[in-house]
């Protein structure tokens, strides 16, 4: 005995066969409980709903991407405000708390930063690439990053060379040689040293 289909395409295919069969064989099915016209109407309603769902999924993906991009912009703007406030108040903890921020503890010896997190390609063009990343997480025994050294190498090589220096956790590298498979990584630095290398991102411009 045949089994009722589970996949959407199979269900719609069976509905089409039912509609055609009922219309072409009225003598065999003279009084169907659901006529071919009603079946066809519901089928068309399904296709309309399917198109709406597809558009909604596409819109949701675009909205999620935009949300991530705007969040990165917000984080970068906030970090700039905090760095300026720290400098302007000479790390005065009471003053920094007025903007919801705590200064570093006085007298604590600065440590090298930790490892940069989640290096990723933000955008790329004909001979340029934009990278961004998350600052090293706050961990015991690590200090705050004051800058980021971006390095690159050709794929298959282990000869890393400086490609740029950033204060914020993002950078645009211009005049990158085209047709070359470049690998990029980022290292957080401060006056006490540097952290571990980040993950590697690969791109061919």
State pLDDT tens for residues 143-156: 889 999 999 999 98
Please indicate, yes or no, if residue 91 is contained in any of the structural domains: no
Domain that residue 26 falls in: 1-78
Residue 191: pLDDT band with limits 50, 70, 90: confident
Picking from 107, 109, 113, 195, the residue whose alpha carbon sits closest to that of residue 151 is 195
What is the model's pLDDT at position 93? Answer: 85
131 and 52 belong to one structural domain? no
**Dihedral of the CA atoms 5, 9, 15, 16 (nearest 10)?**
-140
73 and 121 belong to one structural domain? no
Task: Inform me whether the pLDDT recorded for 61 exceeds 60.
Answer: yes
> Across residues 81-95, what is the average pLDDT?
84
What is the model's pLDDT at position 106? Answer: 54
| 151, 160 Cβ separation under 8 angstroms | yes
Overall number of domains in the chain? 2
Please indicate, yes or no, if residue 100 is contained in any of the structural domains: no
- Residue 129: alpha-carbon gap to chain centroid: 16
Higher pLDDT among residues 140 and 55, named by residue: 55
* DSSP-assigned letters across all residues of 164-191: EEESSSEEEE-SPPTT-EEEEEEEEEET
What is the model's pLDDT at position 38? Answer: 92
> Across residues 69-87, what is the average pLDDT?
87
- Among 49, 78, 107, the domain boundary falls at 78
What is the model's pLDDT at position 83? Answer: 84
CATH code of residue 151: 2.60.40.10
What is the model's pLDDT at position 189? Answer: 93
Please indicate, yes or no, if residue 92 is contained in any of the structural domains: no
Residue 9: pLDDT band with limits 50, 70, 90: confident
135 and 74 belong to one structural domain? no
Picking from 66, 81, 73, the residue whose alpha carbon sits closest to that of residue 170 is 73
Give the tokens for residue 16.
Answer: 């089409």
Please indicate, yes or no, if residue 107 is contained in any of the structural domains: no
State pLDDT tens for residues 91-125: 888 888 888 886 455 556 778 999 998 999 999 99
Summary mean pLDDT of the chain: 88
Please indicate, yes or no, if residue 49 is contained in any of the structural domains: yes
Please indicate, yes or no, if residue 4 is contained in any of the structural domains: yes
| 116, 187 Cβ separation under 8 angstroms | yes
Please indicate, yes or no, if residue 95 is contained in any of the structural domains: no
Please indicate, yes or no, if residue 175 is contained in any of the structural domains: yes
CA separation for the pair 165, 163 (Å, rounded): 7
132 and 188 belong to one structural domain? yes
> Across residues 65-83, what is the average pLDDT?
88
Give the tokens for residue 5.
Answer: 């289909």
Task: Inform me whether the pLDDT recorded for 70 exceeds 90.
Answer: no
- Among 61, 78, 95, the domain boundary falls at 78
- Among 78, 108, 126, the domain boundary falls at 78
pTM of the model: 0.48
């Amino acid at each position: 005995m045949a089994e009722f289909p589970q996949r959407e395409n199979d269900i719609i295919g069976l509905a089409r066969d039912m509609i055609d069969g009922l219309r072409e064989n009225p003598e065999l099915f003279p009084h169907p409980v659901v006529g071919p016209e009603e079946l066809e109407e519901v089928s068309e309603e399904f296709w309309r709903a399917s198109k709406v769902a597809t558009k909604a999924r596409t819109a949701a993906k675009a909205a999620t991407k935009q949300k991530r991009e705007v969040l990165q912009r917000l984080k970068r703007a906030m970090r700039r405000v905090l760095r300026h406030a720290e400098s302007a108040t000479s790390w005065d903890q009471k003053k920094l708390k007025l903007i919801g921020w705590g200064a570093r503890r006085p007298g604590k010896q600065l440590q090298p930063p930790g490892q940069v997190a989640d290096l990723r390609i933000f955008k790329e063009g004909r001979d340029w690439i934009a990278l961004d990343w998350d600052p090293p997480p706050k961990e015991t025994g690590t200090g705050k990053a004051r800058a980021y050294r971006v390095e690159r190498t050709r794929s298959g090589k282990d000869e890393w060379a400086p490609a740029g220096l950033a204060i914020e956790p993002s950078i645009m590298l211009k005049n990158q040689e085209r047709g070359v498979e470049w690998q990029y990584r980022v290292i957080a630095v401060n006056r006490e040293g540097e952290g571990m290398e980040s993950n590697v991102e690969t791109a061919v411009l």
